[in-house]
Structure 1
């Protein structure tokens, strides 16, 4: 497993988009004619917006809303037997370069319901024959798929991260936020983009083009490390996520300053994908803006009018923090209640304490991890520099307790 807590979970799905682009042109969701708007609750899990979805009157299934994905994707192959598919055909998905292919199904039109009053129109999906992303293990709860462009394309969507609610209405029906900003966006290859500014170390502003990516767990990702090498402080090697061809390696550091409209962020944690694992894109861009920044705002996304409205919420002034333990871990077991270590960063607090890959975490500060969410564990491990945390692990058929002294690494 390579689900990690700072990752953009599925940054690169361009070939899937290419294979199914003809279907995508007709797919969208709309609101029942008798309603003005529809409100639903979501779960924010490791910075993923998880909504209940019914398919062919079966469910609910847990889907991640992701503006970085061009089509509805069912990542859990077991759903093939659960949703009464009429027809399906097999396609091969290829990554860039010489990467190996893998197989997926394309479905016939599905009856998809996200909430009472939001209906699907000609929505098809791709079903992966093998779960290549391990989102359930990453989230610590069952995740069945991703819902992207077709949900946002014909709706105006207001997202409130404070009370975990989402309201969908027809395009242009929401009033702009008072004391907020209006940001022009462009929709290209079924994804939203904006142009904004990064301040380089010499003080010069540089305009960059970013995807607005609700599916990315990091605050910011930049594709050109060389341009920003003097703007970064410490950098750590990391797995940045999983793409269509496998893990995305790279570095995590900070940049001095990032601006959206009148809002400025300092010391922003930023991912830099390694050029050896960098993918080519259909649309030229400089990186993506992820949930680490987006969740600091009330948001309205209006694809039809090419606009995003933003207003700071109470998270706006919270500093950007990264994991201080040096542990990458995932949930496993039938109920996803066991926590296993997948990687330990050399020189980190966990490495100094002697933790290793495949150790099973049993308790954290004397609390059974089976009674904690994976988000609770994340929050403890990035809570405070120099904080002592007691971690009990199981290895080689015996239990061992270690003291982690959390260490801010970037």
Structure 2
């Protein structure tokens, strides 16, 4: 995730995920409503993908939002009454909310994934990257969309409309294949993330390629949400979304004012796409988010074969305590290459050491 620090009503700093997939600013930490001195907020219902029904949030009066170099007034936000996302647990650091359309609306936003910097300016002063690819986009319902060509495993090429979603960790998601019974032959069952009202389940496989302007990216890890969890009532018709797993292979400029996005490949462009090879999902917990808890184990996977189960705690990997690692480092252990790992597990009030042999599953 792309994290940015900001102050609200002269309080903070708070950690917000930069997310083109949201319109209204979302505060996911309910306690913030007291910290930023919000008075008389009104209540609304929010609905989205997932398992549960609509849920409630407060809508704040106008807030003052300060990011180094920028001060915005009259910004409204939705404050969730309950932290449904548990973003802090899945990111491995405190997360207080999501910042989307309000940040991108009147600015040209240049994101350099090479050195992890964001530069903003007035669109009229924008200087694109040299030799970058200009991509037409549309801004619909406060979100950016683009067309990209998908090559399917059977060689068919189809143009699809995608939301450009910096807040989605996956590379690519296609929402029209499950309902057409056209999934790739090799897929694995997976939890695909958390949407507005709960987790989204589905499958993960590969598409042969995606073409974005002059760029062609091959063997792309792709998510396929279950049709039971997709409500086909979007006000903007789309085929899926392009997430951070693809976007971080470029340095990117968003220019909403002129309906443009600029892409320039960076050093990550040719890196192979790999998915988790353990068959387990995990999150961080505890006051300091330094406990790694298994949330789900896929039947028949390497994690299942060695007897790991939900709620087991992983305390070390190859003798290195997980409390000393970021979630990004931990992810790299489980999806970089096929190999064996020595894990220390806390289970039934005792510690065990087990060897897990990773296996590429898609």
Aligned to 1:21: none
1:229 offset after TM fit, Å?
Answer: 6.1
Aligned to 1:236: 188
Counterpart secondary structure, 1:154? coil
Aligned equivalents of 2:47, 2:206: Cα separation in 1: 33
Counterpart secondary structure, 2:257? coil
Aligned to 1:295: 248
1:242 offset after TM fit, Å?
Answer: 1.5
Alignment partner of 1:120 is 2:77: no
1:221 offset after TM fit, Å?
Answer: 0.2
Aligned equivalents of 2:172, 2:348: Cα separation in 1: 39
Aligned equivalents of 2:279, 2:50: Cα separation in 1: 32
Aligned to 2:292: 339
Aligned equivalents of 1:94, 1:184: Cα separation in 2: 29
Aligned to 2:46: 93
Q: In structure 1, list runs of 5 or more residues that go unmatched.
A: 1-47
Aligned equivalents of 1:378, 1:345: Cα separation in 2: 16
In structure 2, which of residues 125, 144, 152 is the aligned counterpart of residue 173 of structure 1?
125
Q: In structure 2, list runs of 5 or more residues that go unmatched.
A: none
Q: 1:200-243 deviations in whole A, cap 9, x for unaligned?
A: 34534211100010000000000122588667241011111112
Aligned equivalents of 2:229, 2:192: Cα separation in 1: 10
Q: 1:261-295 deviations in whole A, cap 9, x for unaligned?
A: 11111111000010000123110000000011000
TM-score normalized by the length of structure 2:
0.96
Aligned equivalents of 2:328, 2:194: Cα separation in 1: 19
Aligned to 2:210: 258
1:253 offset after TM fit, Å?
Answer: 0.3
Alignment partner of 1:309 is 2:259: no
RCO higher in structure (CA 8 A, sep ≥6):
1
Q: Is the 8 A contact 1:258 1:264 kept in 2?
A: yes
Q: 1:156-211 deviations in whole A, cap 9, x for unaligned?
A: 00001111100000114222322221000000000000011112345342111000
Aligned equivalents of 1:103, 1:140: Cα separation in 2: 26
Aligned to 1:192: 144
Aligned equivalents of 2:50, 2:3: Cα separation in 1: 32
Counterpart secondary structure, 2:43? strand
TM-score normalized by the length of structure 1:
0.85
Aligned to 2:159: 207
Q: Is the 8 A contact 1:392 1:399 kept in 2?
A: yes
Greater displacement, 280-289 / 100-109: 100-109
Counterpart secondary structure, 1:380? helix
Counterpart secondary structure, 2:63? coil
Aligned equivalents of 1:121, 1:372: Cα separation in 2: 38
Aligned to 2:335: 382
Q: Is the 8 A contact 1:199 1:205 kept in 2?
A: yes
Q: Is the 8 A contact 2:190 2:204 kept in 1?
A: yes
